């Protein structure tokens, strides 16, 4: 709705990906992590993976590139902010979407998404540069907003993995601490130009409060990281061997206080809730 209460009419998304790339005047460079999504069908589906209840008043996009996804987001969001590091692409986006910029519906922030001040946003939908997948994800996740992000397939599957599977690890526990993680679609290499070496995955993260409590979130995440560096060891040995990572000052006190059944387990068999309970115990007796 507009400020006067009337329904806002959005222009349909009609820009062709190949035409957008040509107008940008830049060829994709795999060495710079530039793989442009050119399959219209995939681009059209990406915004639909937002949760039904998601607020699209202000959608954030990381890495707008030639504007293929930006075009689609403008058709579903009241307002879009794009963070784009490449000055050529930033200038192209302002030129290509000049009307939307003028209307205040599109803001282009030129800079590194890991360093710039991110605006307040209601949802984030992005085809991320794969080289910063982990860093940018853990900048976004604590915001507690719905995320639809494109990753390398292996990364996306590890993020959504369940305890006991080969893909389950630190990334799974850490991401699922912030929300429900689902792989919505596997995207073939052929959907991009130039083609990447691997398939991709569109992942939805729906924020929710975890079903456990941790008093010190930073310690919890460091503790999980520490134990997964020793994933082939028992939890007992993992606690003893990784105090330099977890920050424990008295790992033996944690071993003495922990349940024997947990101490015999390995990290890959521990649920996020069990990690949280053990981290709370470790914080109480071992810091």
Does the annotation flag 78 for ligand binding? Answer: no
Q: Is 84 annotated as a binding residue?
A: yes
Structure tokens at 173: 């526990």
Looking from the CA of 277 toward its CB, the CA atoms found within 13 Å total 11
Whether cis (ω within 30° of 0) applies to the bond prior to 194 is: yes
d(CA 62, CA 272): 28
Any idea what DSSP says for residue 12?
A: P
- Rounded Cα distance, 200 and 127, in Å: 10
Cβ atoms within 10 Å, residue 152: 18
d(CA 84, CA 106) in angstroms, rounded, equals 13
Consult the annotation and say whether 35 binds a ligand.
yes
Q: Known binder of ligand: residue 112?
A: yes
| Helix orientation angle between 217-228 and 272-286, rounded to the nearest 10 degrees | 110
User: What residues form the annotated binding site?
Assistant: 35, 37, 63, 84, 112, 127
User: What residues form the annotated binding site for S-adenosyl-L-methionine?
Assistant: 35, 37, 63, 84, 112, 127
């Amino acid at each position: 709705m507009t400020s006067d209460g009337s329904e806002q009419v959005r222009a349909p998304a009609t820009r062709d990906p190949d035409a957008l790339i040509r107008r940008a005047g830049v060829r994709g460079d795999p060495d710079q992590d530039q793989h442009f999504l050119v399959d219209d069908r995939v681009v059209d589906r990406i915004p639909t993976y937002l949760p039904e209840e998601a607020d699209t008043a202000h959608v954030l996009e990381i890495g707008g590139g030639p504007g293929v996804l930006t075009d689609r987001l403008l058709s579903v969001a009241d307002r879009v902010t794009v963070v784009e590091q490449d000055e050529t692409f930033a200038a192209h986006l302002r030129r290509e979407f000049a009307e939307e910029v003028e209307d205040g519906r599109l803001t282009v922030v030129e800079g590194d998404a890991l360093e710039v001040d991110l605006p307040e946003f209601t949802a984030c939908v992005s085809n991320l540069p794969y080289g910063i997948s982990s860093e940018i994800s853990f900048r976004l996740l604590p915001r507690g907003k719905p995320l639809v992000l494109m990753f390398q397939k292996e990364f996306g599957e590890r993020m959504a993995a369940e305890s006991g599977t080969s893909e389950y690890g630190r990334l799974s526990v850490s991401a699922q601490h912030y929300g429900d993680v689902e792989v919505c679609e596997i995207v073939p290499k052929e959907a991009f130009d130039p083609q990447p070496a691997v398939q991709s995955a569109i992942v939805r993260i729906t924020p929710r409060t975890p079903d456990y409590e941790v008093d010190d979130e930073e310690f919890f995440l460091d503790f999980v990281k520490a134990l997964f560096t020793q994933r082939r060891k028992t939890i007992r040995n993992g606690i003893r061997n990784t105090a330099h990572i977890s920050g424990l000052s008295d790992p033996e006190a944690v071993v003495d206080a922990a349940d024997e059944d947990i101490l015999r387990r390995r990290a890959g068999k521990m649920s996020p809730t069990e990690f949280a309970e053990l981290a709370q115990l470790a914080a109480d007796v071992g810091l």
